[in-house]
Every structure is written in C-alpha cells, then in structure tokens.
Amino acid sequence: MSHVRVGLVVPSSNVTVETELPALLGRHPGATFSFHGSRMRMAKVSPAQLAAMNAQRERCVMELGDADPDVLLYACLVALMSVGPGEHQRVEGLIAEQLATGGSGTLVRSSAGALVEALRAVPAQRIAIVTPYLKPLAEKVVTYLEAEGFEVVDWRALEVEDNRQVGCIQGDLVMAAARSLELIRADALVISACVQMPSLPLVESAEQEFGLPVLSAATAGAYSILKAADLPIDIPGAGSLLRREGGLSR
C-alpha cells in the first residue's frame, strides 16, 4: 500500500479542510495519507485580508518544502479566484517553480484549480453553486468559473465574512440555500465552493435528493490529490465524483 504525504497551505482561521480531507482520503482502499500544514494569517474573508494572506505564500511553501510532500494543495479557493481568471494556473506554476529551486519534485494543486478539474471530470457545463461569501466575492467566483468555460445557471451567497464563522455554518442552512436554486438546467451542483464551509456530510444525500452530481471544494480537492498521486478514484459515500472511475451518475 502506497503512502502519500499531502502538504496543505491553509488560512490560519481554517478548521475544516484539515478535517474533511483526511476523512475523505482515509476511506481510500489502496493508499494511506498524512497531512502537513502551513498557515497564512487571515480572519475575515475580505479582499484586503485575502491579498495580505496570498502575500504569505512563499513562506508557507518554503516551510512545507522542508517536509518534501508528494502533493501540495493551496487550500483557499476564493483567495485565488478573487484575483481574476487564470490565477490558479499562475500560482500553481509559481509554487512548483519555488519548490523545484529547492530540489523538490512535489506536485502542486490548488482548491481553485481542483474545482475546475473536478467539474470537467464530471463532466459539467452548466453548474449551480452555494458559497459562504459576501456577494461581491461570490460574484468573483462566478466570473472565474465562467471564464473557465462553465455556465453558472444559479448561485447563492450566504454572506458570512468572518472565516471562523464560515467553519460553523450548519448543514441545514447550506441545504436550504441549495434547495432554493434553480437546478433544472444544471449538470452539477457545487454545494460548498469553499474549503472552510463544512460539506462532507451533505454531498451524498444532496446528490440523491437533487438527482445530479454534487461536488464541494473538499471532494474536488480529494479528487485532484488522487489524480496527482496517480491513484484510483475510489472513495465511497462522497458523491459520484469520487466513486470508482467510470461510476459517475448523471
């Protein structure tokens, strides 16, 4: 059985990604995983604090480089999407270049890029999304995904600015937002476009309720890590994206 070391660059106030990703990947039948984090200071999900957080990236990458992870995930979706289209490709390239300078062959992914990758894998063209962000930031996420070629048919913003409170959003509030969406034209639902907003207990039941693929930033991140590590997609109970390859339901 192979072992994968996963490096996580996370906002300092995030308490969810280091819970949901181990829970997801711990279900994989063919590999074990360990998680190694470095934190960027951020308490409020605002443009100013996101920019200040992104400026700490190089320090975090340097710290994680000492652990030589197999895969590194830049785990803050809106931090990259708020900058503008294509930012995940630019940042992933810069991180890979920084790690390579130190002699590391770590594979680099980001939550923003992982969501794009996962939506293409479904495959989905028309999507609906639930975000925890204030509406101006949620609109940037919509614009980013549309620039990647998706049509966002409907979206909701729960308008929680304090990132610590994002980690406490109850599932019934998320499901209420999802139920209010116009899903008739949607190919897929992103029930949590944020690694801090808890979603793991919701994905499978939401998929059964709505009858279409349901993803979250967490399940997309797990998918991207597995693809980077060249491991089979085979995680039960987390939606069709992570079922054994070839098992996507539409």
> Looking up tokens 């939550």, which residue turns up?
111
Q: What is the pLDDT of residues 94-106, one digit of tens each?
A: 999 999 998 889 9
CATH of 2-112+219-242, one of 3.40.50.620, 3.30.1490.20, 3.40.50.12500, 2.60.40.10: 3.40.50.12500
Task: Based on the residue annotation, tell me whether 168 is a catalytic residue of this protein.
Answer: no
In the chain, where the domains are located: 2-112+219-242, 114-216
pLDDT reported for residue 246: 45
- The answer to the question of whether 223 is labelled as a binding residue is no
| Catalytic residue (choose from 96, 194, 203, 217) | 194
Burial zone of 32 (CB within 10 Å; 0-12 exposed, 13-18 middle, 19+ buried): exposed
Task: Based on the residue annotation, tell me whether 60 is a catalytic residue of this protein.
Answer: no
**In which residue ranges of the chain is pLDDT below 70?**
245-250
What does the alpha-carbon distance between residue 53 and residue 11 come to, in Å, rounded to a whole number? 7
- The answer to the question of whether 168 is labelled as a binding residue is no
| Catalytic residue (choose from 21, 60, 75, 76) | 76
- The answer to the question of whether 133 is labelled as a binding residue is yes
- The answer to the question of whether 45 is labelled as a binding residue is no
What does the alpha-carbon distance between residue 102 and residue 71 come to, in Å, rounded to a whole number? 15
Q: What is the CATH number of domain 114-216?
A: 3.40.50.12500
pLDDT reported for residue 102: 84
| DSSP H or E stretch at residue 20 | helix 17-25
